[in-house]
């Protein structure tokens, strides 16, 4: 089993879905060693309490630099023997400290059909631009914002009268299928 850490900043529903797929045996290739969170009120922390998984709340403001912040995270990852990192709603650019250690072994999921609509509020961007399709992309992480090599995408229609909430729930449903599928095939 490959040791994986999951990073989240917010709700953590993708994190919870991955944990459920580990527990039901779908993701028998990985062991989740910990959840890393950069916000003390992230709901992902509540979700993690349901599982037997350590939670590292590492707050960037407590460090004098991004390097020092990431070095603290890296020390946990090393201690746990983490081989791959899975970003699941982690809202920060990855810096050189973590990239030097994990580039090529770090995945992210983004709620758009990249390369369209990078960055924040990708769902709002898709609606505003009048697209008729949206979806989700899993990609490798590099130093840019959602710029890493694309691994796999799944799409959905944007229908008449679609709202941000309705599109978000469609995309989340896609993500709960897509992310475990890619994690299973790529993390070996």
Q: Of these, 6, 14, 18, 33, which contacts ligand GRF (CB under 6 A)?
A: 14
| Minimum distance from residue 160 beta carbon to ligand GRF (Å) | 23
Burial 89-125 (b: 16+ CB within 10 A, else e): bbeeebeebbbebbbebbbbbbbbbbeebeeeebbeb
56, 110, 117, 139: the active-site residue: 110
| Minimum distance from residue 119 beta carbon to ligand GRF (Å) | 10
Q: Of these, 111, 135, 148, 180, which contacts ligand GRF (CB under 6 A)?
A: 111
Tokens of 156: 């959905």
**133-134-136 Cα angle (round to 5):** 150
| Minimum distance from residue 64 beta carbon to ligand GRF (Å) | 27
> What residues make contact with ligand GRF under the rule CB under 6 A?
8, 10-14, 88-89, 109-111, 136, 175
């Amino acid at each position: 089993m490959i040791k994986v850490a999951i990073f989240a900043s917010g709700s953590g529903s993708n994190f919870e879905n991955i944990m459920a797929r580990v527990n039901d045996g779908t993701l028998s290739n990985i062991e989740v060693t910990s959840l890393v969170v950069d916000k003390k009120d992230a709901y992902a922390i509540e979700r993690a309490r349901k599982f037997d998984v350590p939670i590292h709340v590492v707050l960037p403001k407590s460090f004098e630099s991004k390097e020092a912040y990431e070095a603290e995270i890296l020390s946990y990852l090393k201690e746990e023997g983490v081989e791959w990192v899975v970003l699941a709603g982690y809202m920060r650019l990855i810096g050189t400290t973590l990239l030097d250690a994990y580039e090529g072994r770090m995945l992210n999921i983004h709620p758009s059909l990249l390369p369209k609509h990078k960055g924040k509020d990708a769902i709002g961007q898709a609606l505003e631009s009048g697209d008729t399709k949206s979806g989700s992309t899993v990609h490798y992480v590099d130093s840019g914002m959602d710029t890493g090599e694309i691994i796999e995408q799944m799409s959905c229609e944007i229908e008449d009268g679609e709202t941000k909430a309705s599109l978000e729930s469609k995309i989340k449903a896609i993500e709960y299928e897509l992310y475990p599928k890619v994690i299973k095939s790529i993390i070996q």
